[in-house]
Each structure stands twice: as structure tokens, then as C-alpha cells.
Structure 1
Amino acid sequence: MNRKTIAVVFLCSLVSISCFAAFGYSHYGGTDYQYHLSSWLDYTAAWKSGVAYPAWSAAANLGLGEPRFYFYPPISFWFGSVLSLLLPLKLVPAVFVWLSFCLAGFSMYLLSGLFLPPRGRLQVSALYCVSYYLLITASKRFALAELLANAFLPVVCYFFVKILVKQRRSACIGLAIAMALAWQTDVPAAMNFAYTLFIASCIYCLQTRRVRPFLLHIGAQVLSLALSGWYFVPAYMATKYMSSTSSLPYDFRPLFVRTATAFLDETLSAFAVIAAALLIFCLASLRKSEEDTDGVRLLIYLGLVAFFFQLPFTRLLWEHLPGLRIVGFPFRFQTFFYVALPIAVFSLKQARTLRTFVFVLSGTFAAFPFCTCLYWAHAHGSFKPMSEYVRSLDGGSMGMTEYVPKGTGAVVVRTPDQQPRVGQVSSSDPGCSADVKSWLPEDREIDTTAQTPCTYQLRLYYFPFWHLTIDGKPLAASFGKTGLLNFSVPAGAHHVSARFVRPVEPQLLGEAISFVTLLFLATLYRHEKHNNRKMTPVMALSN
């Protein structure tokens, strides 16, 4: 990759932060802005307290906490939290977005190398850096975990094409690692990738009547889940303590269905129809070509599968296919258009007019997020400065429905009037006093004094992984009507400690699965590398 490519990707990626530069950070896109920003602050606070791998979001539910970090994929939190330690907080979201788009451009450059000459590679990389759905994800929705996963989607497609078209076993290693990164970054995006790749591989292998590449692809997908075992196994085994997954956001919004976000949905629908029509045209044109176009056709299949999942009659699939509801809404599939369409168009010979049209189309849609922010700012006034929102986090951040502990009476707290009016440690029993010695994100130290047995209540939501000790000995924890953690102590002076402790068995099991899978992939890599070395002299002699 030369300097020109790096410079073009860096400059094109600046389009992604144009809205931030002109208007500041948008709050009107929902809770994702608040969610990610508060999570980074909470994560860094846990790091500073000495917790290397946080599990409990102490500021959530306005200070009552929730086990957000135990269940949410960690990579985007790691990335944002590291940036927040290195940079002024005001720059962190913009730098996060800009670096994600840079990664998107470099990923696309890698994928396009399978099909296009250097000039074409540079152009399609630039087009991916101004993808409409990615721009909306960043500026309107602020869904930064999904954005980061979509940024390396071309890398996923790179190894996918190598497996199915080239039938390279070594590509299984790359696809397994890339998909594992997706699962550990954003589960809805990874579920989207998995379904789209699976159906496209079925179409391609049925068409070519090849079974081996299909099995290699399935093997890579299984290995990606196993590689993520260190995260998946503990999270899955703890879901029994949480509210049902039915509380996860799900909104079936197919093409051209009017909703509260009519303009956004209609522009996404319009692009989907145009992209699908162009992909069908490219597919028909490639069939007439005498050259080997299997890889490009495979990418087109990915785009058409993505279009299929956005059609109204697919509701039945959304309701019944395992895990598909986790994707959330059909427009998430659109990211495949921006991978498939530029490469398909640039693979056609003597298609200069069509290429120009794709550039104009991409540029027009890339301007929409900026125009939308401009309209919103004109109608409602300028966006609130980040400093104002950060100050509001002094009392904690809002909670999320999917992280409410089941059966405890706990509720999602989003405004001060919803939270119980209690102190850090309180007791309704007479003559009971307590002194807080330490109140860290995952470690609370309290001294109690009473002449009679007392029951205390912490300003902390109960969760089974909070372990209590009294004078170094285990102490039973319970919960009250509002879900706050309770404990009882005998008369006298005592030292009570509350620590969030990850269960050892699920963690060891998950890490063992990931470690064994990593050893298997390393062995496979060495074996493939050894075979390639043996094949090289034979090929040289035959030539």
C-alpha cells in the first residue's frame, strides 16, 4: 500500500466526521451516543481502580449499576476507552469514527486486490469510505460497535471469497479470526454477516456443485464461535440471571414502510432498490464475459441476499430463523451493498458511464447525513455541547432494559425521579450505623456498628456475582423490593466487603475452548505453510 492510497483513505474518511465538525455531537439519534460515551467513562474508571477486565457498569441506572460489561462484546469498549485515556474526551468520538472509516478504506483496498488493478482499488476504497449506511451509523445513530464491525467487513469477504472460489484451507484461518473479531465487537452485525455469508455460499456451491468450499466455510464459522468462547461461554451461562432476550430492540422495517424516521428509511430504501438493480445488471453482464468472474459474482450474491432480507415478505424468516431478530432491523444488511456494488461495477470492462453514475450516486447519498443534521439544527437549535452531557453523568447514566437482573424487582432507571431515594448504605433498624471506607466500581468496603443485629441496604442493584464477606468470612446477600442489595450483620463492629467476582468455572471453560481453537489454527497454519514450501520447488520444475 503506497502513500497515495493512505492519503486518499485518510482524506475520504474525514467525510465521516464532517457533521461533528460542523454541529457537534448529535443527541437526536437516540441513546447510542449516551450509551457509548458513558460506557467508555465507566470502563476507564474501572481500569483506574485496578480492574483489568471490568464486568460491572457502576454508573448505570444513575449509580445503581448493571452487569453491562459482562454481556456486551468488549472490543469497541476497549477501543473507545483507550482513546479516552490518550485524548481529550471531546475528540474521542470523532477520532473513533475517523479511525473506523480509515480501517474500512484499508479493508476495502485489501478485498479489491483480488479483482481490480491499483487505480480501481483506490477508487472503490474511497467509495467505501463514503458509504451512506456507514455515515448514517456514525452521525445519526452513533452505533459505534456496529460501525467498527462493518469497517472490517471487506476483510471477512476477502477470506470468504478465497475459501469458496480458491478453496484455500489457509483462508479458513483468516475467516475464523475475522468473524471472531466481529462476534466480539457487535453481535447483531456478526449475526448479519453469518446469515448473509451462509446463504450466499449455499447459492454459489449449488451453482458450482462444489461441496468442499461450503464445508470449509462452515468450519471457519464454527471456529470463529469457538475462538470467541472466552467471551461467549461466561455471558451465555449468566443469561439465566437476566431479563429475556425478547427485551432486545427489534423493529421489522422493510423497504418503503413509513415510520417515525420516514426520510431515513425512504433514502435507505431508495438506495437498496438502485443497488439491487445495478447488481443484477452487473451479474447479467458478467455472465457474458469469458473471464473468470466467480469471485465478483459471489460478492454480488452477498448484495442480493442482503436485499432479500429487506423485503416485506421476509417477516416470517425474521420471526423464526434462530437469532435473526438479534440483527434488530433489516437495514443493517445494507452494508453489503457498499462492498459488492463498487467492485462489481469496476470489474466490468468499458463501463465508464456506469462508474460515473456510481460515484454521483454515492456522493449524493453521502451528503444526506450532513443535510439532515443541518435541518435538525435549524429546527431545534444547535446540539448540546459534550461538556454539558458529561456534567450530567456526575450522578450516573441511564440503564438498559436488557441488563436488568431477572426476578429482583429492579427496573431501568433513566431519570432521577425513578431511582430509590437512599444513601450509599442505609438501614431501617434503630441504632445501626455504617461508614463507607471505599466505594470503587467493583469493590465496596463498609464498617458497621450496632448493639443489635442489623440489616443494611446498599445503593447497588443485586446481582448473584456480588460476593460479600464480613470480617473476612462469607456473608449472604439478598435483595429488597426495589432490587437493591441487602445484607444482615450481627451486633458489634464489623468490616463488610462487597466485590464483583466473575465465576471461575465458566471463565476457565470459555478460555480453554478459545485456547484449544487457537492452537488448532496455529497448527493448521504451520501445516499449510509447510505444504506451500513443498509445492513451490515442484511448481518451479514444472515451469
Structure 2
Amino acid sequence: MNIFLGKHTRLFGFGCVCIFTLLLWAIPLLTHSLGHQGDIAVHLRWADQFSDAIKEGWLLPRWAHASRSGLGDPAFLFYQPLFYYVTTGFALLGLQPEKALICAAAVPYLLLGGVVYGVVLRRYPSHHALFSTMFVIACPLLYFLSTSLAGFPWSLSIPFCLLFAIESTRDRPRPYILAPLLCLICLSHLLSGLMTLISTALARLLFAFPRRDTFRGHVLWAAGIILGLALSAFFLYPALTQMHLITPSGWTEGNGFDWRRRFIFPIFTSIHWFAIQWPFSLLTMGTVILALGPGKNQALTPMGTLARRLAIIGAAAMLFSTELAYPLYAVLSPLQKIQFPYRFIFLACILANLALAIHLAERGWSRWSRTARAMIIVLVAAQCAQSAYLQWSLVRHGERLPARSEFMRGEFGQPEYVPAVRGPRWKTYVDNGKLAGECRDLAIACKDVRHRSHALSATVDASHAVAVRMPVFAVQGWRVTVDGLPQPLVVDPDTGLALVQVASGHHLVALHWAGLPAETTGRAISLAGLIILLVLLAARQRSGRQRASDAALDHLGPQAR
């Protein structure tokens, strides 16, 4: 009977978490509005192109076919895909792109609620677990990230980052748990994976300083990292090894991406965004300090230890967002790819809020001083006020997301994904009418043109041998056939487009994305990682059965043996 009631109580709690999430997202869901942010249009376009490719049967799209006025770019070879699988799922249910995007943006909050309520706080009374979950979900920095920064893939990674951090606090982390979580983080938001790894690595050095009794735990943690990177290699390997195909300087060039102006609490550097660099950061720092300082008695319980260690990871994340880490950014170029050091405080805030919730569940309130209690009240009130302000801001200044007819109009594409093969006159080719203008200038007839997400074909009638520039950038990975016979991929130097030689007569010219050798290598690495993961899970299951069998025999006595 108690189990029956317990299950119903938990179901009721999950229902309340879902209702709270819907209320939190009521304004965007009902008005289809978010804060002004140029990246929203980028996500809408990518989600639409990703969905088109999925509908055509591409399980892992690689080519953004509508970018660069329809000439395309390999954005999906480099940008993490998990969020767009979620948007595609809503699109397949019949939702318009803008509605699908907002629904997908709310999914991370449901996942986060499930993690906090159903995984971390399940051992506590339902009313405390429920209110603590609401406190974590309503974190103003997280809501700001989604509704004002349009960091949808980043938000999607947060629940997995939280689970990864929790597993990393164990004295002996389990590689078969760490690996899938790291894979999901990388597929959600690659920079989140980098920030989470950096923060947890430093924190482990602090709460499990390397020595003989902690060495095995660090080895297990490293093994989980390696296995997780292997699982994500089908995306990660080509993304990291094929940068020469695009223009990666677009990630760091220009004043808008100057990492030197993006530290929190700037003293020696200049301010770029006051709200993030001071108010949000001060609130996060206060929560981290409280989560670190409940006293030694609190850390004696297993959950108290978990909370302290999560707070240490949060403190490590904050350290990397301050000017104290400036020398590291100056020396280590991979850190500069993070672009904005203050990105770390989003992870720190979630970890600190959860750590504080655990401390309160462990009756830390009764052991804290009046000053600490007053600080908690102030911090919670400040977070509630910030969350309320964000809601009010959406009502007053929110902008309705554009429909497909608007956001797919004109020439678009991110500067970092401009194909490296592009020539100086590709825009002239577009202005001239693309393939129609090309065929007109060459005095040939081009008919039955079919342009799909990863393929292009046309029939060409020519009275003489001619070289035709097809409306696709000649990025390695495309294959060309004429009448079914393969031709080498030739790059037109003026435009960077695929240049196809056609003899006189009637011909069928076709291009299709055949993939890169790096894609094949990445899939092979992921397959090997998956096999290792399955072996580890099978060994764990077998070990569990053996322990259960031994326990049963011990219970029966020596005669049973």
C-alpha cells in the first residue's frame, strides 16, 4: 500500500513539475514570442533545413541546402544536431517551424525537472523535492539563456551536464554512465562539453587530490571521458578534423568575439554586458559561497558531500569565467573558442542552486547561522525577482517569431560556415539567376532541375561541349555524375561552384552528397565505442547477478554450497 501511494505521489509530483514548466513557458508558448536576438532566425533556418533532410531520409544531415542563396554550406557537418532532432520531432507532428522551435526550447526544462526531481531529490519528502525542483528550473540565468540569448542547444545540454557533474563527484565514477552523458552533451552543445570537462577536471583535483587512494577514481573518470568522445566521434571527428572546408576564423574574428572583454567582475578588462558580468554573476557567486559553506557536519552525509562537490564544480566554473583565468585563455587557444568566458556562470548557477537545495533538504537550515539564513532569503528573493523581470520583459518587449516565408527569405548563412572553396564572384552568379542564367549565357537548355537537400540534378541539352557551373559549392564530399558515369569534382575558381564538363547532346547531370572519409572514420570509432560500452554493461549485469547469487547462497547457509 505504501509503495502504491508512493508511486502515485511521485506521479503527482512529476505532473506538477510539468505544469510548472508549462506555466514558466506560457508566454512564449501562447504568444510565440521571445526576446530580440538575431540567432533565433539562424536556429529557425537550420531547423527547417534539418527537417527537410530528415524527411528525405537523411538520418544525419550534413548540408544546409538553403544557405548562401541556395548554394549551400556544410553547417551540419560542424554544428551539433540534437536540438534539431527535437525540433524535427515537433515539425513531424504538424507544427509550424516557429511553434516547433518554441516547443523544443521548453524541452530542456522538462528534462531538467525530471533529473532534479526524479534522480537527485527523490529520497526527500515530495513537497521539498517539488519546491526545490521548481527553484532549480526557474533559475533566471537558464531562462535568460533560452529566451534572451536564443541558446537553445546550450540549454538542451544543461540536464546532461548536471548528470555528468553528479557522476563525476563519485569517488569511483562509472565509465558506462559518464560516456553516454558526455556523448549527449557533445551532441547538444559542444562548448558545454568543453566547459563541463574543464570545470569537473579542476574540481576533482580539489576534492580528490591525486594520491594512491584516489588514483583509480581518476583513471575511471578519464576512461569515461575517452569512451564518451569515442561514442560521439561520428559527429565529433569530422567536425574537428575538417575545419579546412569552412572559415573557422568567423568564430573569433571581430570585436564581437573578443574574449578579452567577456570576463565576469571585470577590473582590468572592459565591460561588454553589464547584466551578465555583474548582477547575474554576483547572484551566482553568492549561491556558490552558501553552497560551499554549511560546515563540516553537513558534508558527513552522502548527499551533503554531493552538494559540496557540486558547489566546488560550480566554483571551478566561476574561476574560469574571471580575469584570474586570463593567462590560460592567452596561452591555450582552444579556450578562446569558448568566445565568452562568462559562459561558465550558466553552468555554475545551475550547480549551485541544486547544491543549495540539497543542503536545505539535509536540514542545513537548522545548522546555519542567522547571517547565512538571511543570505539565503535574499538570494532566493533576488532570483525570484529576476525571473519575474524576465517574464515581464517578454510581455513588454517580446518579439513574435517570424513565419517560414519571412525567415527563409533572402541570402543568409553564418560567416564561420562559408565554404573555403568560395570564389570572388559567387554572388555575381547568384545575381545572374544561378543555373538558369548560366544556361542562358552558355546557350544551352537546362530542364527538369531538381534541387533537394543533399542532391541536385538537371537535364542539359547542348549543341557543343561546354563546362557548366552547377549551383552547389564544390565542397569535398559531393560526387558528380553525368549520365550515371562519375566525374571528378572540379572547382570553378571564380565562384567556388562545381564545374561539370558536358559534351554535345542530351545529358543528365547529377550531384549528390556522398560523404567524407572522416565521416567513415568517425562512424567506425563510434561503433567501436558502442561495442566497448555494451561489453561494460554486460559485465556489470553479470557481476550483479553473481553478487545476488552469492548473497542468496550465504542466506541459505553452508549446506546450500
For this structure pair, what is the TM-score category when the shorter chain's length is used for normalisation?
A: 0.7 to 0.9
Consecutive unaligned residues in structure 2, runs of 5 or more: 1-6, 367-372
Name 2:391's counterpart in structure 1: 370
Q: State the identity as a percent.
A: 17
Which one-letter code corresponds to 1:533 in the other structure?
A: R
Task: Quote how far apart the aligned CAs of 1:366 are.
Answer: 1.5
Change (3 A) 1:433 1:346: same
Taking the TM superposition and a 5 Å limit, the aligned residue runs for 1:147-226 are: 147-161=155-169, 164-165=170-171, 167=172, 171-206=174-209, 210-226=214-230
1:423-444 per-residue CA deviation (whole Å, 9 max, x = no partner) reads 3341475533322431212211
1:286 matched to 2:296: yes
> TM-score, normalised on structure 2?
0.85
Match of 2:263 among 251, 254, 257: 254
1:107 matched to 2:115: yes
Consecutive unaligned residues in structure 1, runs of 5 or more: none
Separation of aligned partners in 2, 1:113 and 1:174: 19
Name 1:331's counterpart in structure 2: 342
1:360 matched to 2:381: yes
8 Å contact from structure 1 (residues 45, 441) kept in 2: yes
1:404 matched to 2:418: yes
Could you tell which deviates more after superposition, 331-340 or 419-428?
419-428
Change (3 A) 1:294 1:350: closer
Which one-letter code corresponds to 2:278 in the other structure?
A: E
Task: Quote how far apart the aligned CAs of 1:56 are.
Answer: 0.8
Name 2:323's counterpart in structure 1: 312
Change (3 A) 1:87 1:358: farther
RMSD across aligned positions (CA): 3.0
Change (3 A) 1:250 1:185: farther
Separation of aligned partners in 2, 1:499 and 1:396: 24
Name 1:498's counterpart in structure 2: 511
> TM-score, normalised on structure 1?
0.87
Match of 2:544 among 532, 536, 541: 532
Separation of aligned partners in 2, 1:267 and 1:395: 38
Change (3 A) 1:384 1:533: closer
Separation of aligned partners in 2, 1:265 and 1:371: 22
Task: Quote how far apart the aligned CAs of 1:485 are.
Answer: 2.9
8 Å contact from structure 1 (residues 42, 57) kept in 2: yes
Match of 1:92 among 97, 100, 110: 100
1:244 matched to 2:260: no
1:494-534 per-residue CA deviation (whole Å, 9 max, x = no partner) reads 2111112113x433322222122212122212222222333
8 Å contact from structure 1 (residues 62, 396) kept in 2: yes
Match of 1:69 among 63, 76, 88: 76
8 Å contact from structure 1 (residues 400, 412) kept in 2: no
1:401-429 per-residue CA deviation (whole Å, 9 max, x = no partner) reads 2211224336998xxx9964433341475
Name 2:497's counterpart in structure 1: 484
Task: Quote how far apart the aligned CAs of 1:186 are.
Answer: 0.9
8 Å contact from structure 1 (residues 18, 370) kept in 2: no
Name 2:3's counterpart in structure 1: none
1:8-39 per-residue CA deviation (whole Å, 9 max, x = no partner) reads 211221354244257542362222x1111111
8 Å contact from structure 1 (residues 480, 486) kept in 2: no
Name 2:49's counterpart in structure 1: 42
8 Å contact from structure 1 (residues 100, 151) kept in 2: yes
8 Å contact from structure 1 (residues 16, 138) kept in 2: no
Task: Quote how far apart the aligned CAs of 1:116 are.
Answer: 4.8
Could you tell which deviates more after superposition, 268-277 or 519-528?
268-277
Task: Quote how far apart the aligned CAs of 1:295 are.
Answer: 2.2
Task: Quote how far apart the aligned CAs of 1:396 are.
Answer: 5.4
1:235 matched to 2:235: no
Which one-letter code corresponds to 1:39 in the other structure?
A: W
Name 1:144's counterpart in structure 2: 152
Separation of aligned partners in 1, 2:24 and 2:273: 21
Name 1:459's counterpart in structure 2: 471
Residue-pair matches, total: 524
1:193-246 per-residue CA deviation (whole Å, 9 max, x = no partner) reads 111111111112218851111111111011100111122223333222222356
Taking the TM superposition and a 5 Å limit, the aligned residue runs for 1:436-475 are: 436-475=448-487
Separation of aligned partners in 1, 2:329 and 2:26: 35
Change (3 A) 1:461 1:407: closer
Task: Quote how far apart the aligned CAs of 1:5 are.
Answer: 1.8
Name 2:65's counterpart in structure 1: 58
Look up the SS of the partner of 1:447 in the other structure. strand
Look up the SS of the partner of 1:446 in the other structure. strand
Match of 1:346 among 360, 384, 388: 360
Match of 2:86 among 74, 79, 104: 79
Task: Quote how far apart the aligned CAs of 1:331 are.
Answer: 2.8
